[in-house]
Amino acid sequence: MLLIPYQELSADTLDGLIEAFVLREGTEYGEQDISLSDKVAQVKLQLQADQLVILYSELHESVDIITKQQWRQLVKQGELENGAF
């Protein structure tokens, strides 16, 4: 798995990745209906705040967004080669 700095992605690529993540996650936002663009903006803020990271799996040829805590756990378990971030 490779850590992908969000800053290195084009704006269109980042938006598409975040949209796919938000739609796949189906996160419950309570009784309020939140637009896709608002959800994307929330995820961008979390990436900028270093709360989320983007990982690329060479094995599965897929990209995912996970929490920094989940990433640290993967490093601890030895599933990532480079724990620097």
Q: Which domains does the chain have, with CATH numbers?
A: 2-76 (1.10.10.610)
Quote the pLDDT of residue 81.
Answer: 59
The Cα–Cα gap between 6 and 26 comes to: 22
- Locus of tokens 């419950």: 28
pTM of the model: 0.78
Give pLDDT, residue 49.
96
Q: What is the pLDDT of residues 40-66, one digit of tens each?
A: 999 999 999 999 999 998 888 989 999
Predicted pLDDT at 44: 96
Residue 35: exposure state from Cβ atoms within 10 A (0-12, 13-18, ≥19): exposed
pLDDT, tens only, 5-27: 999 999 999 999 999 999 887 65
Q: Which of 39, 7, 33, 2 is nearest to 20 (CA)?
A: 39
